[in-house]
Structure 1
Amino acid sequence: MSRRWSHALVAVLACFAMIGLHAYTGQAPDEHVTRVAVGKPGRLYDTTVTVNSIATGQVLYSDTVFVGRTPVIFLAVNVTIVTDGLRRSTNWQVGGTANGRTFAASEPITVPEPGFRITQDVVFEIGPDDLAGFTVTFLDRAPIYAYDPQLAIDLGITADAAAERLERDRYATVVATRGRVEVNR
């Protein structure tokens, strides 16, 4: 009986050792960051991402449904995602950064099956000071722990452009779309 337990103990210790080999030691993992501009396509594995446009305002609709109003601003980033390779990634995350802070998208993005495309809006709720210098980051959580490729798209909003946009669109309504999957032609 104790011999069976010793084999089980060895198996458990081997599992912990393997986990320990892959665990991070507090250092950032190796990352591959591709930087592109608005309107330019960027690649993450078998998928191409393009930021088409942005919209800002304090009132948000998702298609035709009222979502809410915010005392800060909604930033809707319109993106086209095309899966033109053989596999679709299911481990995507999207976020934003500005002024040393990170922002989560209000909803996850949809990554289409191979041969398809989708144009959809990614919405962030941010402070007015965070509009200038805002960067959207698409992250594909790779199956290997130590390699997470990223696509960073600087929206190219300067401080002057942000002030002008806030003056013009501060109380505007943002109509975001969840998009519709289409055949990639």
Structure 2
Amino acid sequence: MNRRWAGGLIAMLACLAMIGLHTWLGETPQENTTRVSVGKPGRLYDSTITVNSSTIGQALYSDNLFVGRSGVIFLAVNVTIATDGKRRSLDWTVGGESNGRSFAARDPITVPEPGFRITQDVVFEISPDDLAGFTLTVLDRGPIYAYDPQLEIDLGISPDAAAQSMEKDRYAVVRTTRGRVEVDR
């Protein structure tokens, strides 16, 4: 057997061994998940994200422009992101989870350049049943998708608080902002 084929055979055997090991061990858990609550900052590489508050309603305005009305509810989560390191992440995936379901944000999140911060709203369209226990998830995807840091931010909405909020604010107007980048001092 010549050297060219030997190298290829070794590479193929290594790949098969890795596949077999993965199958035997099962799915690798997300070991870089950090859980925080509203008002507590969480780190994703060189950035910090803090959830400030959340609001619900059926009519949505973004930067004072009417976006639409929902048959269910809009949940707007106000976040502040500050990049204090040397690099800015370019690939954050933002979503939400509740009752075993995953939700996509209506718009992508803006990650500021180093030395800057932004306060903006992340909007989800959800069923009223998914308000209690809603968790915001933010994943920083690197070039290799393994052990990327992820934040899970529990909004702290209990079933009783969700019921009270639905009674009081279900038909409210949600006013959101895409934010304005500022110097982080």
Equivalent pair of 1:42/1:48 in contact (CA under 8 Å): yes
The runs of 5 or more residues in structure 2 that have no matched partner are: none
* Residue aligned with 1:123, SS: strand
1:105-184 alignment to 2 at 5 Å? Answer: 105-184=105-184
Q: Report the AA paired with residue 183 of structure 1.
A: V
How far residue 145 of structure 1 moved from its aligned partner, in angstroms, is 2.6
Q: Report the AA paired with residue 106 of structure 1.
A: R
In 1, Cα distance between equivalents of 2:58 and 2:6: 59
Q: TM-score, normalised to structure 2's length?
A: 0.87
Equivalent pair of 1:95/1:138 in contact (CA under 8 Å): yes
Q: TM-score, normalised to structure 1's length?
A: 0.87
Superposed CA offset, 1:94-133 (max 9, x none): 0000000000000000000000000000000000000000
In 1, Cα distance between equivalents of 2:28 and 2:103: 19
Superposed CA offset, 1:67-96 (max 9, x none): 110110000000000000000000101000
Equivalent pair of 1:56/1:76 in contact (CA under 8 Å): yes
In 1, Cα distance between equivalents of 2:29 and 2:160: 35
In 2, Cα distance between equivalents of 1:69 and 1:35: 32
Superposed CA offset, 1:22-69 (max 9, x none): 887672454311011100111111000000011100000111111110
Identity of aligned residues (%): 70
**Within the alignment, does 1:36 sit opposite 2:36 as a pair?**
yes
1:21-32 alignment to 2 at 5 Å? Answer: 27-28=27-28, 30-32=30-32
Q: Report the AA paired with residue 57 of structure 2.
A: G
Q: Alpha carbon RMSD of aligned pairs, Å?
A: 2.5
In 2, Cα distance between equivalents of 1:99 and 1:29: 20
* Residue aligned with 1:31, SS: coil
In 2, Cα distance between equivalents of 1:145 and 1:58: 36
In 1, Cα distance between equivalents of 2:145 and 2:112: 24
Runs (4+) off by over 3 Å: 20-26, 28-31
Q: Report the AA paired with residue 134 of structure 2.
A: F
* Residue aligned with 1:148, SS: coil
Q: Counterpart in 2 of 1:76?
A: 76
Q: Counterpart in 2 of 1:3?
A: none
Equivalent pair of 1:29/1:146 in contact (CA under 8 Å): no
Q: 1:10 to 1:126 in 2, by over 3 A?
A: farther
The runs of 5 or more residues in structure 1 that have no matched partner are: 1-6
